[in-house]
Structure 1
């Protein structure tokens, strides 16, 4: 399951304004117009990341979707505890 908070680089306690700022910053970073000198591979990676950013914003900016995401995310069964702990650590200590 993708952690939308990690995609946007924000904490789960982020306010609506923080979510919007993170979305704008990352949308600008990965926008195709900003990648004029990039290779095709870099453009493809940026395009994929931009789609993740858009989806994360869509979910986290809607209170109902955000609450459902948090509920579902909290119920995920961890199959690789080391990876899960590393991801959690990276969220709070980037």
Structure 2
């Protein structure tokens, strides 16, 4: 399961404006018009990343979808304990 908070680079406690700023920053970074000198492979990777960013924003900007995501995500088995602990630490010690 993709952690939408990690995709946007925000904490789980992020406010709507923080989520929107992160989305704008990342969508600008991965936008095809910004990658004119990039190789085809780089453009393809940027397109995939842009889709992830859009999906993350769609979920986190809608309160109902965000709450459902958080509920589902909390029931997932942790596959990378180091990352999970880092995110947990960041929530309590910003």
Over the aligned positions, Cα root-mean-square deviation in angstroms equals 1.7
Cα deviation per residue 1:12-54 (whole Å; 9 max; x = unaligned)?
Answer: 0000000000000000000000000000000000000000000
CA distance in 1, matches of 2:66, 2:82: 22
Q: How does 1:1-94 map to 2 (within 5 A)?
A: 1-78=1-78, 80=79, 83-89=80-86, 92=90
Q: In structure 1, how many angstroms separate the alpha carbons of the residues matched to 2:13 and 2:87? A: 15
Unaligned 5+ segments in structure 1 are none
- Which structure 2 residue ranges, 5 or more long, are not aligned? none
Deviations 1:42-91 (A, max 9, x none): 0000000000000000000000000000000000023x3xx232354268
TM norm structure 1: 0.88
So what's the TM-score if we normalise by structure 2?
0.88
* Distance in 2 of aligned mates of 1:47 and 1:90: 26
Aligned residues: 90
More deviation, 83-92/37-46: 83-92
* Runs ≥4 residues deviating over 6 A: none
